[in-house]
Every structure is written in C-alpha cells, then in structure tokens.
C-alpha cells in the first residue's frame, strides 16, 4: 500500500473513534479503593499469562489520562470508547458506590468533553469483581442482578455526559474463554458452567439495558465479537462444523438479542448439556431482546473450520474447546503477529450476512473494535513505521465501506487500540496500539498508523 492510495470515504456524521479497556490500560490496581477483579487473580496466578504479566501498572492510564486524552484530541477522533472497571465502582461487586472510583471516570469524561470528544462507555470489559466470582461468577444469576445494580449507579452519575453506552464487551470471551477454554479469567474448564455463564451474561445485558433506559441515556447496545467462520473444504461435514461454530460464536448471542429466540441449532451443538438446562427462565427472552440503539461489532479475522471428532473425553467439557470442529490454516494470506489471517473481504461478508439474516431487526452497527498486532520496531529516529498495521486498517475500512455500499447501516468505527496494552493472557508481548507504549518509561509514541488515521479523519472534515 503506498501513501498515495486514496482513503475510503465515509458519509458525513460517520463516527471515527479509538478504543481501550480498563484492565488493559489503567494500572493503579490497588488505588483509591479499587477491589480485586478476576483478572488480578488470574494474572497473578503463576503460569496463566505470558511472562507472568499483570495489569498492575499497564499503561498507567489512571494517572496519565490527561496525556492520553490530549493524544486523542491530536488524532481528531469524534469518540473514545473506554471501559469502566466495576471493582473501582463497587470493590466487592455490590453495595454502595466508591466515590473515588466514580470520580475517576467523571474526570475522564469531563476531560474528553473539553477536548470535543464524545465518550462511549463499556460497562463490562471482563474485570468482574473477584468477590462475585467467589459467589459463583457468571455461572449464577445473582451476578447478572448485581450487574444491573452497578449499571444503575454508573448511569446515575454519568448518563448526562456519556451519550453512548455498551453493556458487555464480547460475552463469548467471558463465557467460553473464561469458563470453558480456561484461557481467560477466571480460568475455569466447565461445560455447563460456560453455558450458564453465556445465558446469565445475556440476562445481565437485559437488566443493564433497563437501567440505562431508566437513566435516559441517548444510545445503548452491546458489543459482540462475531466471527466469520469459513469451511475448510466444501464437504458437507465441514459445512456442518461451521454451523456448530456459528452457533457457539454468533447465534447464541444474536438469536436471543435480535430475534428473541434461542438458536435452533442448540441441541445439535451441545447435545444433552443444553436440553437439561434450568438457568433459562420464562421471561428471559423478552428481557434479553429489548430493542437496542446499535449493535457493536468487533472484528479481526476469519476462522477456518474443519469437521473433527471430539478430542475431549468428558462430555461436560466439550462445550467450547471441542464442538467437533478444529481450526484450520488460511493459506496464501498474510498473518498478523497474533497469527491471525488478514482477509478483509470476510469483514464485508460478515456484515452483509448479518443484514441478510436479521433484516430490519438489525440495529445500526458500530464497529467497536478492529485493528492488528504487528511486530513493531522502533526506528533509529524513534518512530514506528508500522506499514503492516496501516495496510490492515486501510483494507478493513475499505471492506467496511463496501458493506455500507451493500446496504448495511454502519454508523461508526473504533480502532483497537489507542495504546499498546495488556493483551490478556498474552501479556504485553502483543502490540495492538496506534501509539507505542514503552513499558519501562511509559512513554507514548504515536506510530505511523496514528498519523495515517489522523489524516483519514481530517480528510473527512469539511
Ligand atoms: C478483543 C478484546 C480486546 C482486545 C482485542 C485484541 O477480543 O475485546 O480487549 O484484546 O480483542
């Protein structure tokens, strides 16, 4: 991609943004009354994260947020998506609010508004108060109820200044990576627990939507990581495996949220594990399917799916790790530092197929995350010439524009991420930022991708 490749162009009013999440950037883990979260516990457990990395300091955004807001202002974004750490607001996940926790987000929001940037707040980006996990975490309905209460507290304080609210970030990761694959906090390996968690996350979303409506917020929705699962071959077996993968990654969320029903492919995917569930209660679907103002979609890469036999002998553990499919290689394309294939047209396909499936029931879409981890190097002049990331962003924004041309109503795009940060179990080794963070000095250096995105945004200003 050369510097002269023209930018894709977006309609006026299209929202350009950048995104982060609390545990990945804030640090200050013990400060101002913050309680421990499941990610503190998980990252401090030996062997859980690469190099034993934790979010104790991260980017120290908790103290350096004015500098980060200044960088956002320099970038020219319309909106900044951040997340609120539940354990800062309620250190044990219930009871009265911690004023210092609320105050931090209040100051951040004011700083953003002064910079002319619209705040977009995510209420849950995976940092569950540990005290709630000790009582069962998302396996139990009580956590969903506590989430509704926490949302009411936050909304009461910030609804007047924060126009866009996201209840949950990527509940697939919370439920399945957290309770079945065990690669995310709390690191559990369970079958039924993961399915119960998926359902209770949706119930929590519904309760949070109610609290946000009661507070009169302008826009509320959820963010899903929807996957584009492509069959390894055209065989009937591989295509059936794609249906199972789609069920777990996409339909378990989109069917209740957008169509008010559970996936018809449930039983074939999970067998008797799903037929003997008692966590689904009457009235839940109505709660979950409340109309949303937007659907947040995070998209990074397609997944190649091949039919496979069960690898896991225990039927209760087959829920996510092992639904009779295996991930294959995507030949002939570039892969990012995450090992993820770069196939931008699958982004277009995902969005157009969502529209085909749900039609008018599909709310307007915000792309709440998209970006890439690359093998960044600091040049002699101190700059980071991240041409691969620039190409990735350029191609994905072009693919997004193609989906819009095909009739998908997309209102905004948030690049992941503003800063290099704590990439969960992969620690600090994977860098997604358009701004480099030197983890020794915490110095921020805008990369070439930052300047590219700044110019793209500027090109849209009259
Ligand atoms: C998403 C997460 C985000 C970040 C990116 C790379 O799954 O929402 O926090 O880790 O992936």
From the CA of 265, how far away is ligand 1's center (Å)? 27
Task: Count other C-beta atoms under 10 Å from residue 272's C-beta.
Answer: 9
Report residue 37 as tokens.
Answer: 């979260």
Residues of the chain with pLDDT under 70: 1-4
Respond yes or no: is residue 423 known to be catalytic. Answer: no
CA–CA gap between residue 355 and residue 147 (Å, rounded)? 30
User: Residue 163, class by beta-carbon neighbours within 10 Å (0-12 exposed, 13-18 middle, 19+ buried)?
Assistant: middle
Q: What is the 89 CA–ligand 1 centroid distance (Å)?
A: 22
CA of 230 to the centre of ligand 1 (A): 21
133, 369, 395, 423: the catalytic one is 369
One-character DSSP codes across 204-235: HHHHHHHHHHHTT-SEEEEEE---EEEESSS-
- Whether 307 is in the pocket of ligand 1, judged by its Cβ within 6 Å, is no
Residue 416 near ligand 1, beta carbon < 6 Å: yes
Q: Is 432 in the pocket of ligand 1 (CB under 6 A)?
A: yes
Tell me: cis bond preceding 447? Omega within 30 of 0 counts.
Answer: no
> Per residue in 148-192, pLDDT tens?
999 999 999 999 999 999 999 999 999 999 999 999 999 999 999
Q: pLDDT tens across 67-76, in order?
A: 999 999 999 9
Going by C-alpha positions, the residue among 54, 98, 59 that lies closest to residue 82 is 59
Mutate to test the pocket of ligand 1, among 53, 83, 122, 423 (most ligand atoms within 8 A of CB): 423
Distance CA(148)–CA(203), nearest Å, equals: 9
Phi, psi of 254 (to 5 degrees): -70, -35
Ligand 1 atom, smallest distance to 373 CA: 6
Distance between CA atoms of residues 392 and 217, nearest Å: 34
Q: For a ligand 1 pocket test, name from 120, 181, 298 the mutation site with the most ligand atoms within 8 angstroms of its C-beta.
A: 298
CA distances from 246 to 145, 230, 264, 351 (A): 28, 10, 12, 14
- For the chain, the structural domain boundaries read 15-461
Q: Does the beta carbon of 39 lie inside 6 Å of ligand 1?
A: no
Q: For strand 444-446 and strand 435-437, is the pairing parallel, antiparallel, or unpaired?
A: antiparallel
pTM above 0.75, yes or no: yes
- Nearest residue (by CA) to ligand 1, atom 4, is 423
User: Which of 122, 424, 425 is the pocket-test mutation for ligand 1 (most atoms within 8 Å of CB)?
Assistant: 424
Distance 381 CA to ligand 1 centre (A): 30
- Count Cβ atoms below 10 Å from residue 376 Cβ, excluding itself: 19
User: Nearest residue CA, atom 10 of ligand 1?
Assistant: 423
441 exposure class (CB count in 10 Å sphere: 0-12, 13-18, 19+): exposed
For residue 364, the tally of other CB atoms under 10 A from its CB is 15
Which atom of ligand 1 is least distant from the CA of 424? 10
369 lines ligand 1 (CB under 6 A): yes
CA of 234 to the centre of ligand 1 (A): 30
The angle formed by the CA atoms of residues 248, 133 and 200, to the nearest 5 degrees, is 40
Task: Give, rounded to a whole angstrom, the gap between the first and last alpha carbons of the chain.
Answer: 26
Out of 26, 111, 118, 170, pick the active-site residue.
170
Phi, psi of 350 (to 5 degrees): -60, -45
Burial grade of 332 (CB within 10 A; 0-12, 13-18, 19 or more): exposed
- Ligand 1 binding pocket includes 22 (Cβ within 6 Å): no
Task: Tell me phi and psi for residue 308, to 5 degrees.
Answer: -155, 155
227 lines ligand 1 (CB under 6 A): no
Distance (Å) from CA 417 to ligand 1 centroid: 9
- Whether domain 15-461 has CATH 3.20.20.80: the reply is yes
Distance CA 103, CA 17 (A): 24
Question: Cα(425) to centroid of ligand 1, in Å?
Answer: 11
Q: How far apart are CA 341 and CA 301, in angstroms?
A: 6
Residue 75 pLDDT: 98
Residue 327 annotated as catalytic? no
**Starting from the edge strand earliest in sequence, which strands make up the sheet with 228-231, in order?**
228-231, 302-307, 325-328
Q: Whose CA is nearest to atom 2 of ligand 1?
A: 170
- Is 298 near ligand 1, meaning CB less than 6 Å away? yes
For ligand 1, say whether the CB of 43 is within 6 Å of any of its atoms. Answer: no
How far is the C-alpha of 283 from the C-alpha of 285, rounded, in Å?
6
Query: What is the distance in A from the centroid of ligand 1 to the CA of 272?
Result: 31
Helix, strand or coil, per DSSP, at residue 6: coil
């Amino acid at each position: 991609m050369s510097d002269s490749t023209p930018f894709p162009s977006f309609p006026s009013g299209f929202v350009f943004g950048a995104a982060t999440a609390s545990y990945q950037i804030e640090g200050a883990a013990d400060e101002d009354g913050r309680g421990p979260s499941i990610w503190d516990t998980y990252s401090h457990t030996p062997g859980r994260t690469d190099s034993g990395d934790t979010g104790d300091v991260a980017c120290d955004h908790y103290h350096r947020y004015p500098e980060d807001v200044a960088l956002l202002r320099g970038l020219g974004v319309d909106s900044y998506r951040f997340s609120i750490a539940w354990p800062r607001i309620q250190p044990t996940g219930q009871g009265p609010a911690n004023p210092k926790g609320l105050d931090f987000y209040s100051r951040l929001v004011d700083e953003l508004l002064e910079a002319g940037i619209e705040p977009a707040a995510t209420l849950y980006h995976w940092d569950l108060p540990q005290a709630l996990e000790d009582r069962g975490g998302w396996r139990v309905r009580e956590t969903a109820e506590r989430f509704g209460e926490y949302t009411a507290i936050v909304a009461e304080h910030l609804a007047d200044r924060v126009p866009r609210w996201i209840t949950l970030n990527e509940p697939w990761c919370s439920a399945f990576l957290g309770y079945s694959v065990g690669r995310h906090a709390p690191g559990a390996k369970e079958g039924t627990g993961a399915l119960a968690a998926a359902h209770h996350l949706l119930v929590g979303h519904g309760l949070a939507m109610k609290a946000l409506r009661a507070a009169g917020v302008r826009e509320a929705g959820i963010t899903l990581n929807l996957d584009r699962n492509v069959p390894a071959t055209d065989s009937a077996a591989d295509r059936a495996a794609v249906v199972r993968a789609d069920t777990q990654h996409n339909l378990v969320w989109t069917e209740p949220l957008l169509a008010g029903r559970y996936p018809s492919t449930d039983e074939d995917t999970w067998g008797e594990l799903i037929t003997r569930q008692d966590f689904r209660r009457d009235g839940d679907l109505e709660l979950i399917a409340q109309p949303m103002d937007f659907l947040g979609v995070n998209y990074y890469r397609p997944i190649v799916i091949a039919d496979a036999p069960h690898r896991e002998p225990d039927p209760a553990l087959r829920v996510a790790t092992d639904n009779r499919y295996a991930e294959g290689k995507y030949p002939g394309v570039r892969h990012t530092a995450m090992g993820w294939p770069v196939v931008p047209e699958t982004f277009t396909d995902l969005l157009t197929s969502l529209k085909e499936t749900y039609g008018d029931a599909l709310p307007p879409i915000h792309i709440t995350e998209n970006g890439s981890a690359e093998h960044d190097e600091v040049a002699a002049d101190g700059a980071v010439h991240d041409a691969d990331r620039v190409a990735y962003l350029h191609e994905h924004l072009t693919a997004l524009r193609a989906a819009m041309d095909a009739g998908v109503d997309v209102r905004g795009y948030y690049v992941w991420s503003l800063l290099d940060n704590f990439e969960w179990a992969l620690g600090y080794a994977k860098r997604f930022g358009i701004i480099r963070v030197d983890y020794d000095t915490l110095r921020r250096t805008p990369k070439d991708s930052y300047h590219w995105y700044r110019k793209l945004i500027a090109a849209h200003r009259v």
